[in-house]
With several copies, the nearest count.
Chain A
Amino acid sequence: MIEHDPSVRAVEATLFASDSPMTMEQIRAYVGEDVDVADALSKLEQQYQGRGIELVKRGKTWHFQTAADLAHLLRREREESRKLSRAAVETLAIIAYHEPVSRAEIEAIRGVQISKGTLDVLMEAGWVRPAGRREVPGRPLVYATTVEFLTHFGLATRRDLPGIADLKAAGLLDPVDLALEGLQGLSAVESGDLPEGGDVELEIGDESA
């Protein structure tokens, strides 16, 4: 039997027992001031590499989870059957990448009205929440994602959303009007008479919201 480092054992036990991810400070509060938590965590990370369980850091918090490559063994069939509709997936993506965003803005991107159930499903899943109102005429409610959303998808922050930096750089998160102005600004010199302030919107579907 190998003699294990008491500090590593203590941090290991604490993280295993915790029912939520913990910051180094939170761990320290349990294991005591004289434990080098950072050192213990890095040793643990190494020791668990390649095992069925791994130590994961997300943002500032640490937790143990099952190894991703074992998903096929553990995947819960029942969860899968409640698959999100395409509308719900797109709506979730729009909220996550554009938040805070109003219903009308979601509809402008998708080109169709969103049914009431779509947002309800996302809120019921705990991934989306109303996040105040936008101070424009009509004061529309805006939506944003939750901490549970980040946790569920294994994200530390919204910056970790897949491809968000590229989308931002490509201007694909800007509204059409803004993108159009940018393009016209570049090409206006050559083509001369492009109309400014293109306020003509495509009338697609019923954008009554």
Chain B
Amino acid sequence: MGLDHDLDFDEVDTPPLEVADDSERLTIDIDGWEGPLDLLLTLARTQKVDLRQISILQLVEQYLSFIENARALKLELAADYLVMAAWLAYLKSALLLPKDPTIDPSPEELALRLQLRLERLNAMRESGARLMARDRIGRDIFLRGLPEGLRVVRTTAWDVNYFELISAYGQIQARNAPVMHVVKRRAVMTLEEALERVSAMLGQILNWTQLEAFLPIGAEPALRRSALASSFLAMLELAKQGRVELQQETSFAPLMVKARQGAGA
């Protein structure tokens, strides 16, 4: 981490410090830096080319002395610079004091973190500069200014086969053919049919029998519904004629039918 404490400060030639040392000036421009990290990086770069070798302690002292100078000259120094200064002052004292294993995180780790951040910011700053220094299209390098352009002319191949052609004609003909409407017979059982059917069946039925037993077996639902209604009416008619007896225990209970003794036979 390069926390060597005895590097000679005076060897370090820093433009920012020159500004700071220039007591003739009434203001120190901290707007030249984009925040405390930027200032720290500038200070760090004056130490060594390789940020991995910088002395954090030395860096901290440079920052604090810079801020101290700047504060004396410019009272409204931005708050984040002062926050950083306070934090670095703490870091400095922690680094100088005998090691206390109970302090978590250790000052060494804090220092390492600061160093890592500076390395990362520096890497991006250098990458940005390298990016900008590239030969850029539209600035250094030019594409053809007046390209004729390439064109794709689309032609359509219509897709239709012989079968589609003649079947289309067939369908026109079919459309134009006169249409005969046939109304389909609905499956119904008329009252007359029901009367006939029920009368015929009554002879074989001696006990009370449910009305549904008189319906045709295996009929379609539509026919069955019609037969039920017709057969019911037929039963009522037969009851009126005195040929059958009807019985129902409650509403909607099965309707029971029985031939009247000696009536129809």
B-binding residues in A (CB < 8 A): 13-14, 16-21, 30, 63-66, 68, 71, 74-84, 86-90, 92-94, 96-97, 109-112, 121, 124-125, 151-155, 161-164, 167-168, 170, 172-176, 179-180, 183-184, 193-198, 200-206
Contacts and interface: CB of A to CB of B under 8 A. Distances in A.
Most buried by A among B150, B156, B168: B150
22 contacts: A16-B147, A18-B150, A63-B146, A65-B143, A71-B139, A71-B141, A83-B159, A92-B168, A93-B127, A93-B172, A111-B172, A153-B161, A154-B135, A154-B137, A162-B166, A167-B127, A172-B174, A174-B174, A176-B171, A180-B112, A200-B110, A203-B83
B75 interface: no
Interface stretch (B18-26, B35-43, B184-192): B35-43
Contacts of A154: 134-137, 141, 162
B49 interface: no
A78 B152 CA distance: 7
A153 B87 contact: no
B85 to A, nearest CB: 11
B149 to A, nearest CB: 5
- 6 shortest interchain CB distances as A-B pairs: A111-B37, A172-B170, A17-B142, A93-B128, A112-B35, A71-B140
B240 interface: no
Most buried by A among B37, B132, B140: B140
B120 A162 contact: no
Contacts, number: 307
Given A96-B165, A176-B113, A89 B129 contact: yes
A26 to B, nearest CB: 9
Contacts of A153: 131, 134, 136-137, 161-162, 165
A198 to B, nearest CB: 5
Nearest to A77: B153
Contact of A125 (B117, B158, B180): B158
Interface residues of B, number: 80
A87 B35 CA distance: 11
B104 A84 contact: no
B127 A17 contact: no
Contacts of B114: 202
Contacts of A19: 144-147, 149-150
Most buried by B among A77, A88, A161, A168: A161
Given A14-B150, A154-B162, A202-B113, 8 more contacts: A90-B168, A109-B176, A111-B34, A153-B161, A154-B135, A172-B123, A174-B174, A179-B171
B36 A205 contact: yes
Contacts of A111: 34-38, 117, 121, 172, 175-176
Contacts of A93: 124-125, 127-128, 131, 165-166, 168-169, 172
A163 B140 CA distance: 21
Contacts of A84: 132, 158-160, 164
Contacts of A94: 124, 169, 172
Contacts of B29: none
B124 A87 contact: no
B187 to A, nearest CB: 20
A30 B145 CA distance: 15
B157 interface: yes
Contact of A110 (B35, B126, B130): B35
Contacts of B179: 195
A161 B131 contact: yes
B262 interface: no
B261 interface: no
B241 interface: no
B65 interface: no
A152 B124 contact: no
Given A65-B137, A202-B117, A109 B124 contact: yes
